[in-house]
Amino acid sequence: MAILEVDGLTKSFGRTEVLKGISFSLDRGQALAIIGSSGSGKTTLLRCLNFLETPDTGTISVNGEVLFDAASHASLGDAQIRSNRLHFGMVFQSFNLFPQYTALENVMLARELLAKGQPGYKADKKRIHAEIEAEARALLEKMSLSNRAGNYPHQLSGGQQQRVAIARALALKPDILCFDEPTSALDPELTGEVLAVIRELASQHMTMVIVTHEMAFARDVADRVIFMDEGVIAEEGAPEDVFGDAAGDRIRAFLSRFNS
């Protein structure tokens, strides 16, 4: 059963049409890799899924619930958009950690902000805080960062910062984890650290949408691959089909740049 359904998304910036009727679905537990050249619309698509951009047309549904319908999105208030966004965990290219908070505090922050808005928070503050901290420490341990919980972002390597960012995205227990080229700011050694974490999440059947230029990674980890070109889905299917001999000229030309 599809956990994510996207139908007819379009998005323009001024006169530039970036997305041109994007439609696809994703089943629970699948990893979807989105590849394509710079400017093909990959990141814009991901930002639309996470409600960081507003599509011009189309719908986005999660678990059968329509979260966004361009025909009526004006009726959604900020609170509803924030609620819808909780379905998606977002991991950005450049980590986007808060520099004034430690690794542990970065992972805890969103959970604590949500908890403060709940009835009865003040009366049960210590227990709630302890629970959030325990879960954040468990996530850092999962990222092999238990000994870095008290470090600030500037005290961490790029790979360590990105693993903190993954832990932060997981803290809210999203339905779908989204990655926007999570290794593009890292050198090869640190890239391997982050890809190993994503591989482990895939083995645990975490539902993921991954924008990536790591072709070998996409072949090995993704259940499905979408190749985008000039705002449209030019190719879609299982990795063996998209990367196989039957792929079209556009994707072969794209892949040749990363296999040379």
Contacts of 47 (CB under 8 A, 6+ apart): 53, 180
Place of tokens 């500037």: 154
pLDDT at 254: 66
Q: Per residue in 152-165, pLDDT tens?
A: 999 999 999 999 99
Contacts of 156 (CB under 8 A, 6+ apart): 103, 148, 164
Q: Give the chain as a DSSP string.
A: -EEEEEEEEEEEETTEEEEEEEEEEEETT-EEEEEE-TTSSHHHHHHHHTTSS--SEEEEEETTEEEEETTTGGG--HHHHHHHHTTEEEE-TT----TTS-HHHHHHHHHHHHHHTSTTTGGGHHHHHHHHHHHHHHHHHHTT-GGGTT--GGGS-HHHHHHHHHHHHHHT--SEEEEESTTTTS-HHHHHHHHHHHHHHHHTT--EEEE-S-HHHHHHH-SEEEEEETTEEEEEE-HHHHTSTT--HHHHHHHHHHH-
> Residues in the chain with pLDDT < 50?
260
| Spatial strand order in the sheet of 57-62 | 16-27, 2-13, 57-62, 65-69
| Closest of 171, 35, 183, 188 to residue 95, by C-alpha | 183
Buried b (16+ CB within 10 A) or exposed e, 208-233: bbbbbbbbebbeebbbbbbbbbebeb
pLDDT at 82: 86
CA dist 249 and 25 (Å) reads 25
pTM of the predicted model over 0.75: yes
Q: What's phi and psi for 53, nearest 5 deg?
A: -130, 150
CA dist 200 and 207 (Å) reads 12
pLDDT at 249: 62
Q: Per residue in 57-81, pLDDT tens?
A: 999 999 999 999 988 866 667 788 8
pLDDT at 37: 87
Q: Per residue in 119-143, pLDDT tens?
A: 888 889 999 999 999 999 999 999 9
pLDDT at 71: 86
Partners of 68 in beta bridges? 60
CA dist 36 and 226 (Å) reads 8
